[in-house]
Amino acid sequence: MDLINGGKPVDSPGHNIALLIDADNASPDSLDPVLTILAELGTVNIRRAYGNWSKPALKGWANLVLRYAIEPQQQFDITKGKNATDMKIAIDAMDLLYRGHIDGFGIMSSDSDFMPVAMRIRQNGLPVYGFGTERTPEGFREACTRFIDVGKLVQAEASADEGVEAGKGADGDAVVAPAGQDAVIAPSPPVDEALVTLLGDAWKASKRDEKGFARLSEVGQRAGNRSSFDARSYGFSRLSELVESLPNFVTERRDGGAMYIKRVR
């Protein structure tokens, strides 16, 4: 069983998850990986996309409505320059929250207007996964339980697919690199120094053994209490893989596979 940043189990198929999409502000290209990530919380039974569907810009989302069983929510532009869609999403989020039977939320948007919505949901003890671009304001990022940069996510998946295709021959069989040559591996987005510092501080605050190693699950939980970062924004599927890639830490596997880490630089 893996753990999310908040320390809760990710394999919860019986949980009911709501995905609210700001179609005016989010790209349909990232829907597949978003649904995959939300599967950590449970089953995405509620899928709603909000926007003015008379606009040509929403054609990409319109093509996905039937394919992914998304419920389109029409919101006309009441006043020029004002986004009524955000207000409708906020109202629906509160309705779902107080109606109950919801175990977690996903919000696809890069708009800072959803910061108070995410904060209010979390105050009720429910996780909120935010999905936006690198231009998403810090306020909304940090208000979420976890925030995933969908641009980096899509880029990482595309690079992985290219790596798989590059390793196949014309007949689809795997191609083995010639002796003395390394296989081509797609580069991952660089890990910024702020994240290394965050993990280092979480390691210092965690319980360590006589050799200085701390359990990764505790480090991840402490880091998650301070930040909404997600390993997938850096091209890794799990926090353990991200930490293993950093020269600042050494790792050990113990207790039937549990990972322990120690900062060395």
What pLDDT, on a 0 to 100 scale, did the predictor assign at position 226?
Answer: 77
Task: Give the structural domain span for 212.
Answer: 193-263
Top pLDDT among 182 and 60 is at 60
Top pLDDT among 264 and 230 is at 264
At 73, which CATH number?
3.40.50.1010
What pLDDT, on a 0 to 100 scale, did the predictor assign at position 37?
Answer: 87
Q: Provide the number of structural domains found in the chain.
A: 2
pTM beyond cutoff 0.85? no
Boundary (domain end) residue, out of 126, 154, 182: 154
At 247, which CATH number?
3.30.420.610
Does 122 reside within a domain?
yes
20 with 146, same domain: the answer is yes
Q: Which residue has the tokens 């979480």?
A: 202
Mean pLDDT of the chain: 81
Q: CB pairs under 8 A, 24+ apart, for 88-92? A: 88/50, 89/20, 89/22, 89/50, 89/114, 89/117, 90/114, 90/116, 90/117, 92/20, 92/48
Top pLDDT among 152 and 167 is at 152
Rg of the chain taking only CA atoms, in angstroms: 20
* pLDDT band per the 50, 70, 90 thresholds, residue 220: confident
What pLDDT, on a 0 to 100 scale, did the predictor assign at position 7?
Answer: 39
148 with 34, same domain: the answer is yes
Boundary (domain end) residue, out of 154, 172, 204: 154
Does 85 reside within a domain?
yes
Does 222 reside within a domain?
yes
31-63: pLDDT as tens digits: 988 998 898 888 999 999 999 888 898 999 999
32 with 137, same domain: the answer is yes
Statement: residue 171 has pLDDT above 80:
no
**Cβ count near 171 (within 10 Å):** 6
* pLDDT band per the 50, 70, 90 thresholds, residue 185: very low
Does 30 reside within a domain?
yes
26 with 138, same domain: the answer is yes
110 with 230, same domain: the answer is no
What pLDDT, on a 0 to 100 scale, did the predictor assign at position 156?
Answer: 65
Statement: residue 179 has pLDDT above 60:
no
